[in-house]
A and B are shown apart, each in its own frame.
Chain A
């Protein structure tokens, strides 16, 4: 298959290792990955903050960037960005009365998948160790981000993939379905409430005894990781794609926390 990677703006700028891991997994399965150069961002921050007018050029750019490429499926390592592409883009286009954009957005949205969705539903990956050679000998807990869980109905897809990684010890997260408190600009506008939610999430993660909390949304992971870092926790966050990409030959190395300092970029590979 020819797969177009939608890196998402946050992964592109802050977590390139997550995008590299995504490419690596797909190429390991024998697929061709392309990167539409015009892409930038899904515009969800603008939409969710009520800045519809400012969101429109961002949406237009995304739709145009993907419409002009030739591919079988687009993939993003982010549930919420995929949900935005699928749901918010046509909504915004309709709201602005741009029927052409709405139709194009529907077309792009229909071909866009979240990574675990693509792996499980389209590429038939059910066992990460067997099919991807995934190996990661660490104790890992897992936070399912809200938009993947509730807007895309990802269910257990990400968790199932993690649980089939060789060597991985899976520690279930108490009250996993509770929001981490990120919510885009919510974390700034209602920072106190967001922090209260974040603290409960961090407590739950620490209670598992896992050194890592995996997830599928870089923004939530940055939020949780940022909170863990601030409280000097030994735990940190990592995108599940990086765990799937890790093998015996080229393991994902998690640097030791030094004096409470946590490196959040998923380490080196």
Chain B
């Protein structure tokens, strides 16, 4: 505990004689103004800009949209809480279910072509999809190692701006915020999609029927 006490005591000395702390102004936008159709358009625009593939479908067409995105996958991993109906249209691929009790080993994930998950919250303005590790989204590893991530975004989970998303998220859950597929701009600032994360991000926005 020596270093901690040293540091804290130096901090206290440094702050000696300071004026009292003032309130933090929060004049930035706390909520958006878009309706659901606008939110979907906005999010789609951002995702396409990030080179993600996007389909906007009605709930009744979800199964078909998933099957189309996964047409070339020979193996797919899904989290244990995912609606079994979603993957039912994928006939030709091996489907593995990952769960806390039976996590899929990382080597096997590496040999798996695709992952299908849902998502917790999406932010239209920045094109960000947030996964929070709940049973429809699964462990972080499953949406990371396979080369294609098919991600379902229920329209009701889309907000316009980030400050609206924060109260909807549970901080204690491990989170992954995804804005497009893996990318780098490290070589002459030229954007290259696909380094270590999934090189293909396929998003299905599901409209309320």
A and B touch in the complex (CB under 8 A): no
Question: Chain A residues in contact with chain B, CB under 8 A?
Answer: none
